Amino acid sequence: MTDPFDLFDDWYAEARQSEINDSNAMALATADERGRPSVRMVLLKGHGPDGFIFYTNFEGRKAGELLDNPHAALLFHWKSLRRQVRIEGPVGRVDDATADAYFATRSRDSQLGAWASDQSRPLASRDLFMARYEEAATRFEGGPVPRPPHWSGFRVKPQRIEFWQDREHRLHERHLFTRHGEDWDEGMLYP
Ligand SMILES: Cc1cc2nc3c(=O)[nH]c(=O)nc-3n(C[C@H](O)[C@H](O)[C@H](O)COP(=O)(O)O)c2cc1C
> Is the separation of the CB atoms in 91 and 31 below 8 Å?
no
pLDDT at 169: 83
Give me the mean pLDDT over the 145-159 stretch: 98
3-state helix, strand, coil in the chain (%, to 5): 30, 35, 30
Domain ranges across the chain: 4-106+149-189
Signed CA dihedral, 109, 110, 111, 113: sign only: positive
Q: 188 alpha carbon to ligand 1 midpoint, in Å?
A: 32
CA distances from 122 to 60, 117, 136 (A): 11, 11, 19
Does domain 4-106+149-189 fall into CATH 2.30.110.10?
A: yes
Q: 80 alpha carbon to ligand 1 midpoint, in Å?
A: 22
pTM of the model: 0.96
40 lines ligand 1 (CB under 6 A): yes
Tally of CB atoms within 10 A around 126:
8
pLDDT tens digit sequence for 43-98:
999 999 899 999 999 999 999 999 999 999 999 999 999 999 999 999 999 999 99
pLDDT at 172: 86
In the structure, what pLDDT confidence band is assigned to residue 146 with cuts at 50, 70 and 90?
Answer: very high
Atom 14, ligand 1: residue with shortest CA distance: 42
Judged against a pLDDT cut of 90, whether residue 2 lies above it is answered with no
Could you give the 3-state DSSP secondary structure of residue 181?
Answer: coil
